[in-house]
Amino acid sequence: MTTKFIFITGGVVSSLGKGVAAASVGLILESRGLNVTLMKLDPYVNVDPGTMSPYQHGEVYVTDDGTETDLDLGHYERFTHTTTSKLHNLTTGKIYESVINKERRGDYLGNTVQVIPHITDEIKERMRLLAKGHDVVIVEIGGTVGDIESLPFLEAIRQFRHELGRFNAVDIHLTLVPYIAAAEELKTKPTQHSVRDMRAIGISPDILLCRVDRPLPDELRAKIALFCNVDADQVVAARDVDTIYEVPVQLCREGLDEKLLDLLHLPRSVANDTMDRWMDLVNRVKNPKRHVRIGIVGKYVSLADAYKSLNEALIHGGIANEAKVELVYISAEDIEGGNWPPSLLEVDGIVVPIGFGKRGSEGKIRAIHYARERKVPCFGICWGMQLMVVEFARHVCGISQAASTEFIEDTPDPVIYKLRDLLGVDALGGTMRLGSYPCRLKEGSKARQIYGQPEIAERHRHRYEVNQKYLPVLEEHGLKVVGTSPDGKFIEMVELSDHPWFLGSQFHPEYKSRPTDPHPLFVSFIEAALAEQDRRQSQPERAEERASIPIPEVVA
Ligand code: GLN
């Protein structure tokens, strides 16, 4: 069978949820027995998002093969069976890097190297690479039509659609149909303009996926169809929903699966049980039995997208425990003043997540101190684990100046220091320890019991590591190393046994959690947070105990 391509383009404004829409289209096609994969084309000039601030870009999603990619790839993996890799995320930077390398090698002989055909050929070549072994490739194009920087990508798609021929390619254009309160009306004009822009560059969208906050009346569908050169049944409403996991269910209700099969001349194959399982999941998300509050002590807390996979993994842990997870963002810097922030005293569990640099490090260390001393479930992820080690060294082992060389370069006690393998490497792009590596878990440890297996593989993204010189003193005081790389070179997990749940991982388990297959560490952590909630409710003195703890000194 010829591989079919579905392009997802965006119109009107950004942040309409193209990534979730693409992932949802992937899922509903999998529910028809098709083998689907997805890729994202990002128009920015960075080679990858690895060097970008989380404030600008949101989370950097890491694949098994160690590529730093766009967070939409996380949606693709959470919604569908696809496992992404370096082939699944392209940027303008990556395309130009490759074309310029070819030019330097002399591959273009005497030719003038130009956007058309050389850049567009390169983009088409990369899309073709994914066709093998897949019935459908879904290609999401970042940005909004009208952006100058996305033009080469859209031009490549125009050419590619032509080469693929009829019935082999579909463009789904995601737009906004806003409700104007003063007129008490939904307005179609922005969609008309957006489609006009698309047609001006030679792509006539086949499906218009319209974000609306209320039902889209038939007359409006007819009006959009008339102005935008599609049939009314190709205008699909994407109404606001309570959880992103409801989007595929809603698109199925709108019949988008069958519309796509028809447009692509694919048989209307019988649906498998994928959507039933997904509907069951949505029901569980919408009807929780309990409510649990998890504090995320971070430094990028004003942008929830900065912790996208973590947020989702926590929600998945909640689903497994029939609990709604309320995410309470606590700025690490707010813990550097004289008082504990009230929110920290009230959460049922604390996560200290990914982070880089110095800002916020002392606040995170204090949050860990609080959780350790007051026996509140605490999960340290990557930087969080490293700071668990620093906190333990300072306040339990008495190494008062202990630090990471990442934030105190000349510390006398570098319990965390730069990866030995990276000494002398100063370039920042793509140089961290990245991607999936095996980890061996210690018999009898909590980590081993939670995973239920002796060896695991998880994804990494770090430049610093635990300095093994300090292991004897850390272990002597009770911090257990429970996960290492099989050769013992890297410390991967630590835990405390005289604590209900205090566990740190050098890797990022959140990248591999799926709503239908929640990650065991998050399931166990949420279970422990629910137990802490029970404790607070059944023991009146617990709240008092949690509030009364002196704030430790900050090490400058
Ligand atoms: N900044 C730390 C390091 O580079 C932690 C990175 C992270 O949290 N992913 O090792």
The predicted model scores a pTM of 0.95
CA of 60 to the centre of ligand 1 (A): 12
pLDDT digits (tens, 9 = 90+) for 139-182: 999 999 989 999 999 999 999 999 999 899 999 999 999 999 99
Indicate which atom in ligand 1 lies nearest the CA of residue 464. 10
Alpha-carbon span 464 to 387, nearest angstrom: 11
| 382 is a catalytic site residue | yes
Indicate which atom in ligand 1 lies nearest the CA of residue 382. 8
Lowest mean pLDDT: which of 44-58, 315-329, 497-511? 44-58
Choose among 331, 319, 231, 360: nearest CA to 526: 319
pLDDT beyond 90 at 1: no
| 210 is a catalytic site residue | no
Which single residue is written with the structure tokens 């959780």?
Answer: 371
**Token output for 488:** 């013992």
pLDDT number for residue 426: 84
Percentage of the chain beyond pLDDT 70 is 100
The residue type at 529: A
pLDDT number for residue 53: 84
- What lies within 8 Å, CB to CB, of 326 at 6+ separation is 291, 292, 293, 294
Indicate which atom in ligand 1 lies nearest the CA of residue 356. 1
**Token output for 248:** 């595929």
Q: What residues does 139 pair with on adjacent strands? A: 7, 39
pLDDT number for residue 428: 86
Instruction: Quickly state the pLDDT bin for 555 (edges 50, 70, 90).
Output: confident
Q: Which candidate in 88, 118, 462, 508 is catalytic?
A: 508
Choose among 396, 397, 401, 506: nearest CA to 459: 506
Instruction: Quickly state the pLDDT bin for 556 (edges 50, 70, 90).
Output: low
Mean pLDDT of all residues in 391-409: 95
Q: Return the exposure string of 338-356: e unless at least 16 CB atoms fall within 10 Å of the residue's CB, then b.
A: eebbeebbebbbbbbbbbb
Residue to mutate (ligand 1; options 383, 433, 434, 466; most atoms within 8 A of CB): 383
CB atoms under 10 Å from CB of 111, counted, come to 10
Residue to mutate (ligand 1; options 390, 463, 508; most atoms within 8 A of CB): 463
Residue to mutate (ligand 1; options 354, 458, 459, 460; most atoms within 8 A of CB): 354
Helices (H) and strands (E) in the chain, counts: 19, 23
CATH class assigned to 289-547: alpha beta
The residue type at 182: A
Mean pLDDT of all residues in 50-68: 91
pLDDT digits (tens, 9 = 90+) for 302-324: 787 899 999 999 999 999 999 99
Indicate which atom in ligand 1 lies nearest the CA of residue 419. 10
Choose among 153, 146, 137: nearest CA to 29: 137
**Cβ of 354 less than 6 Å from ligand 1:** yes
Alpha-carbon span 8 to 16, nearest angstrom: 12
CB 497 within 8 A of CB 478: yes
pLDDT number for residue 270: 83
Estimate the crossing angle of helix 151-164 against helix 120-129, to 10 degrees: 60
- What lies within 8 Å, CB to CB, of 354 at 6+ separation is 307, 310, 381, 382, 383, 384, 461, 508
CA of 510 to the centre of ligand 1 (A): 15
Alpha-carbon span 209 to 211, nearest angstrom: 7
pLDDT number for residue 550: 83
**Cβ of 26 less than 6 Å from ligand 1:** no
pLDDT number for residue 54: 83
**Cβ of 470 less than 6 Å from ligand 1:** no
CB 191 within 8 A of CB 9: no
**DSSP code, position 539:** -
Q: Which candidate in 228, 382, 397, 439 is catalytic?
A: 382
Alpha-carbon span 73 to 134, nearest angstrom: 17
**Cβ of 462 less than 6 Å from ligand 1:** yes
pLDDT beyond 80 at 553: no
**Cβ of 295 less than 6 Å from ligand 1:** no
CATH fit for domain 4-282, picks 3.40.50.12160, 3.40.50.300, 3.40.710.10, 2.30.40.10:
3.40.50.300
Q: Where are the beta strands (DSSP E) in 142-222?
A: 169-176, 179-180, 185-186, 207-212
**Token output for 163:** 């080469």
Residue to mutate (ligand 1; options 296, 309, 386; most atoms within 8 A of CB): 386
pLDDT number for residue 16: 87
Choose among 524, 518, 533: nearest CA to 284: 518
Indicate which atom in ligand 1 lies nearest the CA of residue 354. 8
Alpha-carbon span 75 to 95, nearest angstrom: 23
**Cβ of 356 less than 6 Å from ligand 1:** yes
Estimate the crossing angle of helix 189-200 against helix 218-228, to 10 degrees: 20
CB 88 within 8 A of CB 95: no
CB 251 within 8 A of CB 24: yes
Choose among 176, 264, 181: nearest CA to 224: 176
pLDDT beyond 80 at 502: yes
| 125 is a catalytic site residue | no
Chain centroid to Cα 254, Å, comes to 27
Question: Fold match between 4-282 and 289-547?
Answer: yes
pLDDT number for residue 302: 76
The domain limits of the chain are 4-282, 289-547
Phi and psi dihedrals of 13, rounded to 5?
-140, 165
Please name the residue whose Cα sits nearest to atom 1 of ligand 1. 356
CA of 147 to the centre of ligand 1 (A): 34
Q: Which candidate in 510, 519, 527, 532 is catalytic?
A: 510
Average pLDDT of the chain to the nearest whole number: 94
Rg for the chain, CA atoms, rounded: 25
- Let me know if 229 is exposed, middle or buried by CB neighbors in 10 A (0-12, 13-18, 19+): middle
